[in-house]
Amino acid sequence: MKRTLYVSSAAAAVLLVGGPVAAAGAAAADAGRALPAVSTAVRASVDAEGAAAAALKHYPGVIESLDKDGSTWHVNIIGKNGTYAEVEVGSDGKATTRGTERNDDDRNENAALVGAKVNAQKAITAALAAHPGTVWSVNWDDDDNDGSSQKRYWDVQIKSGDGRTQNVHVDPTSGKATVSPSDSDEDEDGDDSDQNGSYENYDSR
């Protein structure tokens, strides 16, 4: 509205001294100057791969976990000096360090993660190949499952187009992706097509 009023005023001023033709020319010129440049490109929301890349560029190291909260990604990174960092990546791809913490006692516990052949980024690729969709979170899981040994894997949560979630476990050594029926929404609804408990595997090698 302001631009229109400005054009009309300019045209009226010229009309007093130059007549209708001059006024029309002035109005066109003013309109050309007033119109902002419009970009046809639309920025898409940053996906898991983009968030991982942006976070590591901002704070080099090894990703321990990556979770999406609304339009923001929270990325936990173990830096090259052993310092933990929480990095946030916005929908525009801008990364910001939200906090750091150092605990030298954790170095031995994190040795398997830091030395893993398959990192978070490769785990994302393997999980999506096994179960296409949108990655919502990636977490390093080293819980003691059987009381005697450690079973380490990447836990990748993927959302399908219908809004259902599926967890895919990726072996940090072989890169084999295992679609876990027990973690899927289909299991809870009793609609999981894999009723015999077998897993769908994908080897990223």
The domain segmentation of the chain, as residue ranges, is 1-38, 45-113, 116-205
Closest CA to 96 of 88, 105, 104: 88
Residue 173 structure tokens: 């050594």
Q: How far is CA 94 from CA 62, 84, 89, in A?
A: 19, 19, 5
pTM for the complete prediction?
Answer: 0.66
Residue 178 structure tokens: 């295992």
Q: Which three-class secondary structure state does DSSP give residue 63?
A: strand
Asked if the model's pLDDT at residue 129 lies above 70, the reply is yes
Q: Where do the H-state alpha helices sit in the chain?
A: 2-34, 48-58, 111-114, 120-130, 185-189
Whether the Cβ atoms of residue 95 and residue 54 lie closer than 8 Å to each other: yes
Taking domain 45-113, whether its CATH number is 3.10.450 is answered by yes
Q: How confident is residue 180, by pLDDT bands cut at 50, 70 and 90?
A: confident
The pLDDT of residue 71: 93
Asked if the model's pLDDT at residue 111 lies above 60, the reply is yes
Average pLDDT over residues 69-86: 93
Which of these ranges, 6-10, 78-82, 131-135, 193-197, has the smallest mean pLDDT?
193-197
Cα–Cα dist 16/19, whole Å: 6
Cα–Cα dist 141/42, whole Å: 36
The pLDDT of residue 7: 40
Q: How far is CA 184 from CA 131, 159, 160, in A?
A: 12, 10, 11
Closest CA to 46 of 29, 58, 28: 58
DSSP-derived secondary structure letter, 36: P
Mean pLDDT of the chain: 75
Average pLDDT over residues 76-81: 92
Q: pLDDT by residue (tens digit) across 182-204?
A: 555 544 443 443 333 333 444 54
The pLDDT of residue 144: 56
Q: How confident is residue 45, by pLDDT bands cut at 50, 70 and 90?
A: confident
Which residues sit opposite 156 in a β-bridge? 138, 168
Which of these ranges, 38-52, 83-97, 165-179, has the smallest mean pLDDT?
38-52
Cα–Cα dist 134/123, whole Å: 13
Work out the burial of residue 188: count CB atoms within 10 Å of its CB; fewer than 13 is exposed, 13-18 middle, 19 or more buried: exposed
